A and B are shown apart, each in its own frame.
With several copies, the nearest count.
Chain A
Amino acid sequence: MSKRKEEATVYSQEMLTDGIYSLWIETSMASQAKAGQFIGVFTGDGTKLLARPISICDVKSDENLLRMVYRVSGGGTDLISKLKKGDKVSVIGVLGNGYEKAACGYNEESSNCELIPLNKSLEGKKVIVIGGGIGIPPMLLAAKSLQCEKVMVLGYANKNTFLKDEFDKLGQVYISTDDGSLGTKGTVIDAIKENGVSGDVIFACGPMPMLRGIKAYAKEHGMKAYISLEERMACGVGACLGCVTKTVNKDHHTHVNNTRICVEGPVFDSEVVDI
């Protein structure tokens, strides 16, 4: 499971909907990648030096293929969106803990528990898989990885959805849209309520307000929620302390209630973080 920087090869790139791209790359990292982990993608431009953290959306381990789905939101992702089949792209990874480690409380450095395989720890449970906006992509691999019962709730801005077909194949999908043009008008929580969705555990990724809502919802319903956070990153490997999030208790690294999203996260037990 060692991290490394590697030159990957672009396998394919396509635009899914306006400004949202799907990029498959060939990399030896594919076989290690787990749902909820991410990689750092370099732009190759000397004026934009830092890696762009992008979640792993899907993998085909046997073909060494790894997929990212991302939104062009600035100069770096714009450059990445110009990559074509056969182009080289430098990536660093695999980064972060992923849902599996988060869900069993495993922590790479403190190692205060053993890593329990995700599907073992979730046996007999039902997971609500929630994605909002550009937080939807990592939930695809999460949903695919789950062998237990699951239901998916996806929140889009409007009816220009992406990846929806692929989620549909995995089970029941409920949709919310900000403008009501598809599914429930409102948030993913609104969709959960409207459709009477229930479950034992939540896996989620999305914008901060959504995650706050999920944290509150999980608490109210006595559920566990594992949520994936974002922060600006420099190193991606825990060295720069750029990417911290506040924690309820002392973090094990610095003991100051500030834990690193790139190493101890990005997926956290919602009760652990103070968001």
Chain B
Amino acid sequence: MNTKVTIAGVELKNPVMTASGTFGSGQEFSEMTDLNKLGAVVTKGVSSVPWPGNPTPRIAEVYGGMLNAIGLQNPGIDVFIERDIPFLQDYSCKKIVNVCGKTVEEYLAVVERLNDQPIDMMEINVSCPNVKEGALAFGQDARVLEDVTKKIKAVAKKPIIMKLSPNVTNIKEMGLAAEAGGANAVSLINTLMGMKIDINRKKFVLANKTGGFSGPAVKPVAVRMVYDVAHTVKIPVIGMGGIATAEDAIEFMMAGATAISVGTMNFVDPETTSKIADGIEQFMKDKGIEDINDIIGCVE
């Protein structure tokens, strides 16, 4: 039975990855789940300099999911290279570093620093709804997205995954733009923009007013977008948004995802990823599926 999938020439032992920002640098969850069971770890977004993120509260629970407005707090690429990348070297999973920035130059600075690091791919976050400048703006305009992708590809020495925002009218257009810009893969969905109000205090629950909405509640939107993009572009698609079980993961793969990421559910059960990896194998056994690649995009 083959559970391996390949993205941009990088072979993952299985299609199960962690979603950026929900798994720290891998270390935080490493005593609770076996990183060696993962296809890849995708790290928290890293920028050229340390970012303090947004004021608290940054977290709100909503029906079947959560809102976050972390605002990409991160120690910057220096500390990241010194501390977080070395930690991951002890594990057999692939390493994907998520990159954020406020300007194109900032993205490029991080990409250049990562070029010679022992990592496998870079995921470019142009879709975070929680920072004012850059980020989301890049991800909501197809021409800008294509342009940013081109510029990044011009300097990148590792495969580039462009992470798409679901907060757009036409997700196919965004997938095509990333592809046209030379992206090796796209991942989606990042969080939906959401809001919660505390009616007793007449106040926003999040200090940032709005936050990124994630968790099981968003899955139908994510599956639809993954299907749309996977049936439009030729590059591989990494699917995420509300994945909690092996069944969910398979649903995304049938919709066209080559690999899938688990985000919010890591918080609910740190072993979600490893249970999903096992569950996919079980499903293949039960259905007599020899090669996991036969599942990808098989919905009719």
Contacts and interface: CB of A to CB of B under 8 A. Distances in A.
Q: Do chains A and B touch in the complex (CB under 8 A)?
A: yes
Interface of A: 2-5, 42, 46-51, 76, 92, 231-245, 253-258, 263
Contacts of A4: 31-32, 270
Interface stretch (B64-72, B142-150, B152-160, B178-186): B64-72
B8 interface: no
16 contacts: A4-B270, A5-B271, A49-B264, A49-B267, A50-B267, A51-B267, A232-B60, A234-B68, A235-B22, A236-B267, A237-B24, A239-B266, A241-B58, A242-B58, A255-B75, A258-B53
Nearest to B270: A5
Interface in B25-72: 28-29, 31-32, 44, 50-53, 56-61, 63-66, 68, 70
Contact of B75 (A2, A92, A256): A256
A241 B60 CA distance: 13
Given A3-B31, A234-B66, A254 B267 contact: no
A240 B52 contact: no
Contacts of A255: 50, 75-76, 79
B60 A47 contact: no
B56 A245 contact: yes
Contacts of B73: 241, 244, 254, 256, 258
Interface residues of B, number: 40
Given A244-B53, A254-B74, A255-B76, A47 B63 contact: yes
B256 interface: no
Nearest to A52: B61
A49 B28 contact: no
A207 to B, nearest CB: 15
A19 to B, nearest CB: 16
Contact of B68 (A47, A242, A263): A242
A153 to B, nearest CB: 28
A157 B21 CA distance: 40
Which 5 residue pairs are nearest across A and B when measured between Cβ atoms?
Answer: A239-B24, A239-B28, A256-B52, A242-B59, A232-B59
A254 B52 contact: yes
B266 A235 contact: yes
B215 interface: yes
Interface in B251-299: 264-271
Give the one of B23, B58, B215, B265 with max A CB within 10 A. Answer: B58
A49 B61 contact: yes
Give the one of A46, A76, A232, A253 with max B CB within 10 A. Answer: A232
A240 B70 CA distance: 8
Give the one of B61, B63, B76 with max A CB within 10 A. Answer: B61
Nearest to B23: A239
A18 B270 CA distance: 34
Contacts of B24: 237-240
Given A76-B61, A241-B21, A254-B74, 12 more contacts: A46-B64, A50-B268, A234-B66, A234-B267, A235-B28, A239-B23, A239-B266, A253-B75, A255-B50, A256-B50, A256-B73, A258-B53
Contacts of B267: 49-51, 234-236, 239-240
B216 interface: yes
A160 to B, nearest CB: 21
A240 B23 CA distance: 7
Contacts of A239: 22-24, 28-29, 44, 266-267
Given A235-B267, A256-B75, A240 B53 contact: no
A2 B68 contact: no
A219 B247 CA distance: 43
Given A50-B66, A253-B75, A237 B52 contact: no
Contacts of B75: 253-256
Contacts of A244: 53, 56, 58, 73
Interface in B149-206: none
Nearest to A47: B63
Nearest to B75: A254
B120 to A, nearest CB: 20
A254 B53 CA distance: 10
A263 B215 CA distance: 23
Contacts of A92: 270
A244 B44 CA distance: 16
Nearest to A242: B59
A255 B80 CA distance: 11
Contact of B63 (A46, A231, A245): A46
Nearest to A42: B268
Contacts of A235: 22, 28, 266-267
Nearest to A74: B61
Contacts of A50: 59, 61, 66, 267-268
Given A239-B23, A240-B267, A2 B31 contact: yes
A243 B66 CA distance: 14
B59 A233 contact: yes
Contacts of B66: 49-50, 234
Given A50-B61, A257-B52, A258-B52, A237 B270 contact: yes
A135 B29 CA distance: 28
B23 A242 contact: no
Contacts of B59: 50, 231-234, 240, 242-243
Contacts of A51: 267-268
